[in-house]
Amino acid sequence: MHSEKQEKEKCLPLEKVGEMLVGLRYGTLELTVHDGRVVQIERRERLRIG
């Protein structure tokens, strides 16, 4: 049975991804996973000129 803390920890990466998508028009989000857990989220933003 999952504790409330474990459930909260599972939601944190998804919440962070949502926050990082705000304002991103062109670019990528890259998730790094180790042992089934998100350990890093990288945001690359592109600026389109023209």
Q: What is the pLDDT of residue 48?
A: 87
Do the domain assignments include residue 14? yes
| Residues of the domain holding 28 | 4-45
Q: How many residues does the chain have?
A: 50
Do the domain assignments include residue 18? yes
Task: Determine which helix (DSSP H) or strand (DSSP E) holds 44, and give its type and residue range.
Answer: strand 37-45
Q: What is the pLDDT of residue 34?
A: 95
For residue 20, give the nearest of 48, 46, 43 by alpha carbon: 43
Do the domain assignments include residue 36? yes
Domain count, the chain: 1
Do the domain assignments include residue 8? yes
Q: What is the pLDDT of residue 9?
A: 63
Do the domain assignments include residue 50? no
- Residue 5: phi, psi to the nearest 5? -65, -40
Q: What is the pLDDT of residue 10?
A: 63
Do the domain assignments include residue 37? yes
Q: What is the pLDDT of residues 5-50, one digit of tens each?
A: 666 666 788 899 999 999 999 999 999 999 999 999 999 999 989 8
